[in-house]
Amino acid sequence: MLKGFKNFVMRGDIVTVAVGLIIALALSTLIKAFTDSVIDPIIASVQGGHSMGLGWQLGQPGNQATYLDLGAFLSAVIYFLIFMAVVYFFIVVPYKHVQARRGVVVFGEPGPLKTCPACLSEDLPARAGRCRHCGTDQLA
């Protein structure tokens, strides 16, 4: 039982995913610090004055619980976009390049699809001989 678990954990793709997640976590922390320290003050300065940020006070003045903070949302959107760009350009693109050198296609475009006449599933590969959902033989 332990040998099977060890073989599962030591598979190349599991290790690759684990390393990718660790790198993504580290990049996430770095990007979060950037948005908190650089982007948030820039967004807050757009409002001007002595405001808590970019947004509106809906209740009592100075009450953080009733402040509609659009700046925090805008900062989160910027954080997400930066994070996804970093993951794509620093993890996905190099991984695709390394795998292409090994002759393996990853993150490729899906092939053409067809619809099963029996169950009407629309996600069958065009060259499938049998439906994966209902098991019906497919005509050419």
- Could you report the per-residue pLDDT of 15-74, keeping only the tens digit for each? 677 777 888 888 888 888 888 778 777 777 776 666 566 677 777 777 777 777 777 788
**Residue 137 CB contacts under 8 Å (≥ 6 apart), including other chains:** 129, 130
Residue 48 in tokens: 């001007």
| Residues 67-109: tens digit of each pLDDT | 777 777 888 888 888 888 888 888 788 888 888 888 877 777 7
- pLDDT value at residue 15: 67
pLDDT digit string, tens, across residues 114-140? 888 888 888 888 888 888 889 888 875
